[in-house]
Amino acid sequence: MELYRKVRIACRDGMSGRAASLRFGISRESVRKMLSFSIPPGYRRKAEIRRPKLDGFTEIIDQWLREDIGQHRKQRHTAKRVFDRLRSEHGFVGGYTIVKDYMREHRRRRREMFVPLSHDPGHGQADFGEALVWIGGVEQKAHYFAFDLPHSDACYVRAYPAATAEAWVDGHVNAFGFFGRVPLSVVYDNDRCLVARIMPDGVRKRAKLFSGFLSHYVLRDRYGRPGKGNDKGKVEGLVGWARRNFMVPQPRFASWEAFNAWLEEQCRKRQSDILRGHTETIRQRLERDLAVMADLPPAPFDACDQATGQANSQALVRYKTNDYSVPVAYGYRDVWIRGYVDRVVIGCAGDVIAGHARSYDREDIVFEPIHYLALLEKKVGALDQAAPLAEWDLPDEFQTLRRLMEARMVKAGRREYVQVLRLLEIFEMDDLHVAVKNALRMGAVGFDAVKHLVLCQVEKRPPKLDLDVYPYLPRANVGATSAASYMCLVSEDAA
């Protein structure tokens, strides 16, 4: 621009174009251009690009690219593959560069354009994302539920071990509790946890659990086009934003509960931000969202998958490829199952008979050792090989008690040891542990003694054991009866 200015000033003061060319060391054509335009006009193409070696093959390339539309994106033609096919199949003699430039221009013309959208208050969008996290010292994949209110950009994020139907519903229940209101509608993709089937006329046949959730909150659901994430672009952006801001570096938490508590706090802090293009904070704009949203129902929706099953001969009930134990008394009986995101509850008729932490492995077996103690009392020979007890981490005092019982009573001692373990059906482990330690300290090695001691521990009273006899039963103090004891039964009139 400085040279441009000097040439124009010199020519304005009477210098000829030829003289200016010699003085400034530029061509007379450049001088004429500088005098014609006040600022450099830049390069201007006057004719279409000609590719004489490629022009006869463009229709072939276009046909290949049209056929690619229905193929998997990783099995479509690259510029290198088009170049190789043109040379081997059609005798193309041009270079690779003109093929690459044509492919780039073709893809640029076909890229989709989008319309900027505005969002009314009170509506939401939901989706799931994935990231690697450390939970309890183990690296695993977190499937995080992302809920966005597009009008205010307020968000809620919650992580789960798997993106199941229960996780979808539980995420909504917690999001609604976080905001304290229910949106008028929510936009979803066509996830199979939500949509069982898309009918020929476009109507969605909803999954059973999701349909019940919508009915409970009287919520209107809307769906994007299959494969078109831009139909819910706000939450798609939130998924990426949450991964970059909440998952980098990889989070490390002791439990999923601790991780989700931290995520909720981050979502709450974000409400004080002012985003680009706005003059209000997210929290201020959120007030307009909340003003038009609906009230929460009196009770939250029970976010669980419901199923039925039957306990087999090993007192196991199968749910989602995994087996969970029930008390042996319910063997061969029909049961009902409630699968929550973090636990599995099993019942029979109107009673809850078992509850386990949910496993997301495949073909896993989840035991509760207490469920098998009643059977082991009858089959004490299986005690050492009982799989439910193999990984039961009992205090060391229990093993000491067992050795002493077996040394003193052999097989009967083994049975009494199982009877001691069965006290866990009624009492807490801490109380029984104290009773076992007291029994060992007193040398009262027997079921009756441990039972008496655990009762004393729970009732906060001192033990009374006769240590001179077996079984170790409480001392009985029998008082002598006197005639005077019955005088209270005689009325004054009779006297």
Quick one: what percent of the chain has pLDDT higher than 70? Answer: 93
Report the amino acid identity of residue 237.
Answer: G
322-342 per-residue burial string, b: 16 or more CB within 10 A, e: under 16: bbbbbbbebeeeebbbbbbbe
* Rounded distance between C-alpha atoms, residue 478 and residue 323, angstroms: 54
pLDDT interval class at 394 (50, 70, 90) = very high
* Rounded distance between C-alpha atoms, residue 75 and residue 343, angstroms: 42
Q: Which residues pair with 30 in a beta bridge?
A: none
pTM listed for this prediction: 0.75
Under DSSP, is residue 311 helix (H, G, I), strand (E, B) or coil?
coil
* Rounded distance between C-alpha atoms, residue 345 and residue 362, angstroms: 18
Query: What DSSP state is assigned to residue 296?
Result: P
Phi, psi of 361 (to 5 degrees): -80, 180
Q: Give the domain ranges of the chain.
A: 2-36, 66-110, 123-292, 305-366, 375-495
DSSP assignments along 186-227, one per residue: EEE---TTTEEEE-TTS-EEE-HHHHHHHHHHT-EEEEPPTT
413-to-104, 218, 379, 399, 405 alpha-carbon distances in Å:
83, 62, 13, 12, 4
What would the CATH number be for the domain defined by 123-292? 3.30.420.10
pLDDT of residue 229: 63
208 pLDDT higher than 80: yes
* Rounded distance between C-alpha atoms, residue 303 and residue 210, angstroms: 9
492 pLDDT higher than 90: no
Do the Cβ atoms of 371 and 315 come closer than 8 Å? yes
Looking at every residue in the chain, the average pLDDT score rounds to 89
478 pLDDT higher than 70: no
Do the Cβ atoms of 263 and 174 come closer than 8 Å? no
* Rounded distance between C-alpha atoms, residue 435 and residue 43, angstroms: 94
Residues 6+ apart with CB under 8 A from 468: none
Q: What is the mean pLDDT of residues 411-430?
A: 93
pLDDT in tens, 89-102: 999 989 999 999 99
pLDDT of residue 165: 93
pLDDT interval class at 366 (50, 70, 90) = very high
* Rounded distance between C-alpha atoms, residue 45 and residue 42, angstroms: 10
Do the Cβ atoms of 26 and 35 come closer than 8 Å? no
pLDDT of residue 172: 95
Range in 103-107, 167-171, 325-329 the model is least confident about = 103-107
CB atoms near residue 170 (< 10 Å): 23
pLDDT of residue 195: 87
